[in-house]
């Protein structure tokens, strides 16, 4: 049992102790505001105050940030220890040298996203606006490194301590925005598609459409057998997120009631976790999220506990508050569309802390690190240029024993059109991650 001393424990301090000591390091811990009891305790302990105490303990110099309530505009000071950014550095000259509890909380609470900020054309918090991007550490899971610094400090001071081994896990995920290119569409949508192709003089797609509809050729977006084969070879269970919103400018999946789509969902449910992909329009109509969840639960005949926002439309804390109302337990939206990396500075699932109510919640956030569209559409890279970045991301997660979460789409695995060559890239990524994966560990254990 690790005893943490803080004169006035707050919800923020309780939360971040649970995150670093409990969730990441797997240790038992307890917090106390009783200085006498702390001084008399002979076991492993952490002094979380401004001043060093005359007792054997690890000193994390408190900067006061976790004693605050609400949000106000500021940016943390930052110093560097080799390649690791240390937020909230201390001038005390002893202890950990920086308030690692405050640093971790600043990152995972997404404090900066509660403040006024610029958004992209879809109204999303832009990666280039983030503190991590501006300070060049977006691709480093700094919170996990902070936990390891704390672990080392504890072991140096209390060598009798034993922490569970941290192992790498891989969680492949897929967003099904458009389940099929041609299958499952009604007569009107197929006719409109044909007329559009005629207007674009795209005779190839017209021929392809008829071949698919006449069952002479497989639909190009039908890459599901391939995905299932990866699961059967590796034993790694993946997560799928299905868009079941009504048709709209940004919501163009086939009809949610289509037998083609419902059959696909049921088949995938036999091999993988299945969650909802709340539509783009659900961001402007709160009722739609619940409606779409009911559609999926009706198809699966089970409760829906997983989600990822379509277009990664994440508005903190509103999006998470809505998911909690719908009893969703895990959300996978935490990541940027335009940049690979760790939006919350962490590669481990963690609980959402609501800064509006100043309390921890039951919602587990599962952050992803890489997305197919980031490389091709936002960064303009080809598969060969993308591979070293992805490989580096995997290695950075493996270094801290975290969970590497990838986000891919069924159509980007078609190995056709502008996605030619990206299936091979996915296989290279999958192979490296699968070889490092600990099969005895479930990344969704924290739920």
Cβ burial 343-378 (10 Å sphere, 16+ → b, else e)? bbbbbbbbbbbbbeeeebbebbbbbbbbbbbbbbeb
Least confident of 20-29, 101-110, 182-191: 182-191
Band of residue 446 on the pLDDT scale cut at 50, 70, 90: very low
Q: Is the pLDDT confidence value at 90 over 60? A: yes
Please compute the mean of the pLDDT values over residues 20-41 and round it to a whole number. 96
Please compute the mean of the pLDDT values over residues 385-401 and round it to a whole number. 98
The tens digit of pLDDT for each residue in 300-309 reads 999 999 999 9
Least confident of 35-49, 111-125, 184-198, 256-270: 184-198
Band of residue 401 on the pLDDT scale cut at 50, 70, 90: very high
What pLDDT was estimated at residue 152?
97
What pLDDT was estimated at residue 405?
98
Token pair, residue 118, equals 């610029």
Least confident of 19-33, 161-175, 432-446: 432-446
What pLDDT was estimated at residue 212?
64
Q: Is the pLDDT confidence value at 218 over 70? A: yes
Q: What angle do CA 83, 88, 93 make, to 5 degrees?
A: 85
The tens digit of pLDDT for each residue in 8-24 reads 999 999 999 999 999 99
Please compute the mean of the pLDDT values over residues 388-414 and round it to a whole number. 97
The tens digit of pLDDT for each residue in 224-253 reads 999 999 999 999 999 999 999 999 999 988
Give the residue, 284 or 187, on which the prediction is more confident.
284
HSE, side-chain direction, 13 A CA sphere, residue 155: 12
Q: Is the pLDDT confidence value at 195 over 60? A: no
Band of residue 447 on the pLDDT scale cut at 50, 70, 90: very low
CB 409 within 8 A of CB 208: no
Q: Is the pLDDT confidence value at 113 over 90? A: yes
HSE, side-chain direction, 13 A CA sphere, residue 162: 1
What pLDDT was estimated at residue 216?
75
- In the chain, % of residues over pLDDT 70: 92
Nearest to 438 by CA among 387, 389, 406, 397: 397
Burial zone of 438 (CB within 10 Å; 0-12 exposed, 13-18 middle, 19+ buried):
middle
Question: CA 344 to CA 366: how far, in whole Å?
Answer: 10
- In the chain, % of residues over pLDDT 90: 85
What pLDDT was estimated at residue 231?
95
What pLDDT was estimated at residue 290?
97
Band of residue 199 on the pLDDT scale cut at 50, 70, 90: low
pTM of the entire structure?
0.94
Q: Is the pLDDT confidence value at 215 over 80? A: no
Band of residue 211 on the pLDDT scale cut at 50, 70, 90: low
What pLDDT was estimated at residue 92?
74
Contacts of 253 (CB under 8 A, 6+ apart): 176, 177, 178, 179, 242, 243, 244, 245, 261
What pLDDT was estimated at residue 94?
76
Band of residue 194 on the pLDDT scale cut at 50, 70, 90: low
Average pLDDT, the chain: 93
Please compute the mean of the pLDDT values over residues 255-271 and round it to a whole number. 95
Please compute the mean of the pLDDT values over residues 187-209 and round it to a whole number. 60
Please compute the mean of the pLDDT values over residues 53-61 and round it to a whole number. 95
């Amino acid at each position: 049992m690790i005893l943490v001393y803080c004169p006035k424990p707050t919800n923020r301090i309780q939360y971040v102790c649970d995150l670093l000591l409990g969730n990441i390091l797997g240790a038992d811990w307890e917090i106390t505001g009783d200085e006498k009891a702390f001084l008399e305790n002979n076991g492993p302990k952490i002094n979380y105050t401004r001043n060093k105490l005359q007792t054997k303990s690890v000193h994390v110099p408190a900067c006061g940030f976790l004693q605050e309530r609400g949000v106000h505009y500021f940016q943390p000071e930052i110093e560097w220890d080799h390649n690791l950014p240390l937020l909230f550095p201390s001038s005390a000259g002893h202890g950990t040298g920086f308030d690692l509890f405050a640093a971790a909380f600043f990152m995972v609470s997404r404090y900066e996203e509660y403040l006024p900020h610029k958004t992209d054309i879809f109204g999303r918090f832009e990666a280039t606006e983030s503190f991590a991007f501006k300070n060049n550490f977006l691709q480093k899971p700094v919170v996990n490194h902070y936990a390891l610094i704390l672990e080392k400090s504890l072991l140096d001071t209390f060598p009798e301590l034993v922490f569970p081994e941290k192992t790498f896990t891989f969680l492949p995920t897929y967003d099904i925005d458009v389940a099929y290119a041609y299958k499952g569409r009604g007569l009107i949508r197929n006719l409109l598609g044909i007329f559009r192709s005629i207007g674009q003089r795209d005779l190839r797609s017209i021929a392809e459409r008829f071949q698919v509809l006449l069952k002479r050729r497989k639909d190009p977006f039908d890459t599901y057998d391939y995905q299932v084969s990866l699961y059967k070879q590796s034993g790694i269970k993946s997560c799928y997120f299905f868009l079941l919103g009504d048709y709209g400018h940004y919501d163009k999946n086939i009809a949610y009631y289509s037998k083609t789509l419902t059959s696909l969902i049921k088949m995938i449910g036999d091999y993988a976790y299945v969650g909802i992909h709340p539509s783009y329009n659900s961001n402007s109509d709160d009722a739609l999220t619940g409606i779409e969840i009911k559609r999926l639960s009706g198809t699966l005949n089970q409760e829906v506990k997983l989600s990822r926002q379509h277009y990664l439309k994440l508005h903190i804390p509103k999006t998470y508050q809505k998911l909690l109302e719908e009893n969703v337990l895990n959300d996978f939206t935490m990541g940027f569309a335009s940049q690979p990396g760790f939006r919350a500075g962490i590669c481990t699932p963690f609980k959402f802390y609501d800064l509006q109510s100043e309390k921890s919640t039951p919602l587990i956030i599962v952050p992803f690190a890489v997305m197919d569209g980031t490389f091709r559409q936002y960064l303009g890279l080809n598969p060969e240029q993308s591979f070293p970045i992805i490989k580096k991301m995997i290695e950075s997660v493996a270094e801290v024993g975290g969970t590497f979460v990838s986000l891919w789409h069924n159509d980007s695995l078609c190995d056709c059109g502008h996605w030619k060559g990206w299936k091979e890239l996915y296989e290279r990524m999958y192979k490296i991650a699968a070889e490092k994966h600990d099969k005895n560990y479930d990344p969704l254990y924290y739920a």
